[in-house]
Amino acid sequence: MRGSLRARIAVAAALAVAVAVSAMAVAGYAIVAHELDRSLNLGLQREVTRLVRQEQARPGSWSPSGPCVFLAAPACVQRVAADGRVESDYALPVDDGARAVAAGTRSAYYRDVTLEGYPVRVLTAPLATGTAVQVAVRSDRNAESLNRIGVAFLLAGLAGAGLAAGAGFVVARTGLAPVAALTATAERVARTRDPDQRIEVTGTDELARLATSFNTMLVELRHALDTAQRSLTAQRRLVADASHELRTPLTGLRTNIDLLARAERLTPRQRFDTVEALRVKGTELTGLVNDLIDLARGDDPEAPAEAVEDVALDRLVADCARRAEGHWPRITFESRLDAAIVEGAPARLARAVTNLLDNAAKFSPQGGVVEVVLRGRELTIRDHGPGIPAEDAEHVFDRFYRAASARGLPGSGLGLAIVRQVADAHGATVTAEAPEGGGTAMRMRFPAERGT
């Protein structure tokens, strides 16, 4: 099982220091061993040089020494003849190499041997014609020194690794404090399901950028949750309102279907009225369902956006007015339209304008006039009907809302709600006003052109 990040950093630091100290210890040990060995050899060389000079100055003036058994004793010395004879009470080992040096056929050389259980290094070198000199000294002092140095390096390495582990843990604890804060915040968000938590950001290093990114993610999460909640609330409200509004046409359909089931008892006129009532209710139901679909599509934040383009609003309103004349043949539509370009989705704008025209025509008396005026970026559609009571003015754009005077008229109660939805999507405003002379004026104001 893997440990915490702090522990892993501490272990990594300890291992790195241990590897570095080990490498340095090995290198240092090799250097010291080489220097001790070189020092031992130089000591033997100096002793040989002294004896050779003494022999040259006063031949036969020195005598061989005793055994090499004391660390503090001077180097032990003996003469070696070409035939291998030695002049010493305690002879150093003589091999073929020593005889060859005495005979003058080989140069000086070193040799490690064991005498009386002690390690000894022997230097054999030419002394005079037909003789060689052997100088020896115990070499275990070097081994003891190397052992002490090796133990010292080992202890230093262990201490360094321990200090590195401690320092690594402290540094990791300090350096990873933002990560700990991030972890705690993430756990709180998971536990409380509240994305409004934030991490305090200090500095500009990688951990600070990580904390900033995490805060940004929380902001986006809150936005997504709010959007989802709004969508869910709108869907619930739509379903609740739709279930209420669908009840009336469905009840009428069931009643008329029940009547048709007894068609043999009905007169031709009754059958005609029943079928006509079914057609009217079916039309109302179709219009209601279509309006519900439009509202649901506009409320869905994940619905694909319609293409936005520059729309000639005057031409779009003129086309809508011509279609309204065909749908409302007893109403006159008088249009005064200035050229205007707005940015938007043509189909949705046409739906909003059509709903405003239908609403005005529905409340106009037979033979009445609906005035359609486009000035600048403001569209006004006025009827000369009964007008909107003051208590209803602020609710006419609510879904399924109907004033008391309009409850007997056909319609789903969603037309003006769709107008408000389209206006909001285009950054426009829509209001219902009571102009002088009666009637109702619906005004849709589009935002100013960009750059103006």
DSSP bridge partners of 380: 373, 443
Contact 314, 321 (CB under 8 A): no
Average pLDDT over residues 296-311: 64
CATH number for the domain spanning 373: value is 3.30.565.10
For residues 299 and 320, membership in a common domain is answered with no
The whole-number pLDDT of residue 378 equals 93
The answer, yes or no, to whether residue 199 has pLDDT greater than 80, is no
pLDDT tens for each residue of 35-48: 888 888 888 888 88
For residues 148 and 110, membership in a common domain is answered with yes
Query: Does 31 reside within a domain?
Result: yes
Could you tell me the pLDDT band of residue 411, with boundaries at 50, 70 and 90? low
pLDDT, greater one: 82 or 9: 82
Could you tell me the pLDDT band of residue 318, with boundaries at 50, 70 and 90? very high
For residues 370 and 258, membership in a common domain is answered with no
CATH number for the domain spanning 136: value is 3.30.450
- CA dist 211 and 333 (Å) reads 62
CA-nearest of 99, 98, 104 to 82 is 99
Contact 314, 335 (CB under 8 A): no
Q: What DSSP string describes 308-367?
A: PEEEEHHHHHHHHHHHHHHH-TTSEEEEEE---EEEE-HHHHHHHHHHHHHHHHHTSPTT
Predicted TM-score (pTM) of this structure: 0.45
- CA dist 374 and 317 (Å) reads 9
For residues 312 and 352, membership in a common domain is answered with yes
Query: Does 173 reside within a domain?
Result: no
Average pLDDT over residues 1-19: 68
For residues 309 and 285, membership in a common domain is answered with no
Contact 111, 125 (CB under 8 A): no
Q: What is the DSSP letter of 72?
A: T
Query: Does 176 reside within a domain?
Result: no
- CA dist 24 and 364 (Å) reads 101
Query: Does 168 reside within a domain?
Result: no
Query: Does 255 reside within a domain?
Result: yes
Could you tell me the pLDDT band of residue 151, with boundaries at 50, 70 and 90? confident
The whole-number pLDDT of residue 144 equals 81
Q: Vertex 335, ends 329 and 336: CA angle to 5°?
A: 175
pLDDT, greater one: 330 or 57: 330
For residues 341 and 366, membership in a common domain is answered with yes
For residues 87 and 104, membership in a common domain is answered with yes
Could you tell me the pLDDT band of residue 441, with boundaries at 50, 70 and 90? very high
pLDDT tens for each residue of 128-141: 888 888 888 888 77
For residues 106 and 148, membership in a common domain is answered with yes
The residues, ordered by sequence, that sit 6+ positions from 123 with a Cβ below 8 Å of its Cβ are 41, 44, 45, 47, 48, 108, 109, 110, 134, 135, 136
- CA dist 278 and 331 (Å) reads 26
For residues 279 and 368, membership in a common domain is answered with no
The whole-number pLDDT of residue 71 equals 46
Tell me how far CA of residue 185 lies from CA of 39, 212, 216, 224, 226, in angstroms.
66, 13, 13, 19, 20
- CA dist 66 and 72 (Å) reads 13
pLDDT, greater one: 426 or 229: 426
DSSP bridge partners of 432: 442
What H or E segment, with its residue span, contains residue 280? helix 268-299
pLDDT tens for each residue of 95-118: 888 888 888 889 999 998 887 778
Provide, rounded to the nearest whole percent, the portion of the chain with pLDDT above 70.
76
pLDDT tens for each residue of 165-198: 777 777 767 766 767 777 777 777 777 777 777 7
Of 303, 334, 352, the residue at which a domain comes to its end is 303
pLDDT, greater one: 296 or 327: 327
Could you tell me the pLDDT band of residue 402, with boundaries at 50, 70 and 90? low
Query: Does 374 reside within a domain?
Result: yes
The whole-number pLDDT of residue 74 equals 56
The answer, yes or no, to whether residue 215 has pLDDT greater than 90, is no
Query: Does 372 reside within a domain?
Result: yes
For residues 207 and 320, membership in a common domain is answered with no
pLDDT, greater one: 438 or 403: 438
For residues 298 and 331, membership in a common domain is answered with no
The whole-number pLDDT of residue 304 equals 47
Could you tell me the pLDDT band of residue 301, with boundaries at 50, 70 and 90? very low
Most confident of 167-181, 267-281, 438-452: 438-452
Query: Does 175 reside within a domain?
Result: no
CATH number for the domain spanning 276: value is 1.10.287
pLDDT tens for each residue of 234-247: 667 666 666 655 66
The whole-number pLDDT of residue 212 equals 80
pLDDT tens for each residue of 370-388: 999 999 899 999 999 888 8
Number of domains in the chain: 3
- CA dist 177 and 171 (Å) reads 10
Of 110, 141, 161, the residue at which a domain comes to its end is 161
For residues 142 and 199, membership in a common domain is answered with no
Contact 100, 84 (CB under 8 A): no
- CA dist 407 and 178 (Å) reads 63
What is the extent of the structural domain holding 353? Answer: 305-452
Could you tell me the pLDDT band of residue 257, with boundaries at 50, 70 and 90? confident
Of 277, 303, 329, the residue at which a domain comes to its end is 303
